[in-house]
């Protein structure tokens, strides 16, 4: 195996690429967490744990957000 010495510029470019990839991974982690919570909510709805309310009550609650 041949040892190659990298320049600071080469190392900096690699670090910038890694930083960009890590930022993309953060987005994927957020997406996966959202998917997990959504799936969990659908399971609760499927077993009858969902909340039902009238359209008027829903709109009133929505306005309070």
SS3 content of the chain, % helix, strand, coil (to 5): 75, 0, 25
Residue 26 has pLDDT above 90, yes or no: no
Determine the average pLDDT of the residues in 17-25. Answer: 90
For the chain, how many structural domains are there in total?
Answer: 1
2 located within any domain: no
Q: How many DSSP H helices and E strands does the chain contain?
A: 2, 0
pLDDT band at 31 (very low <50, low <70, confident <90, very high): very high
pLDDT band at 1 (very low <50, low <70, confident <90, very high): low
Instruction: Give the contacts of 53 (CB within 8 A, at least 6 positions apart).
Output: 61
24 located within any domain: yes
Residue 38 has pLDDT above 90, yes or no: yes
What is the residue range of 18's domain?
8-63
Mean pLDDT of the chain: 91
pLDDT for 17 equals 94
- The DSSP letter of residue 47 is T
12 located within any domain: yes
């Amino acid at each position: 195996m041949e040892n190659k010495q990298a320049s600071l510029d080469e190392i900096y470019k690699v670090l910038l690429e890694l930083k960009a990839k890590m930022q993309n991974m953060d987005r994927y982690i957020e997406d996966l967490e959202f998917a997990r919570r959504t799936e969990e909510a659908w399971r609760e709805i499927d077993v009858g744990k969902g909340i039902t309310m009238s359209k008027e009550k829903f709109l009133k609650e929505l306005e309070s957000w």
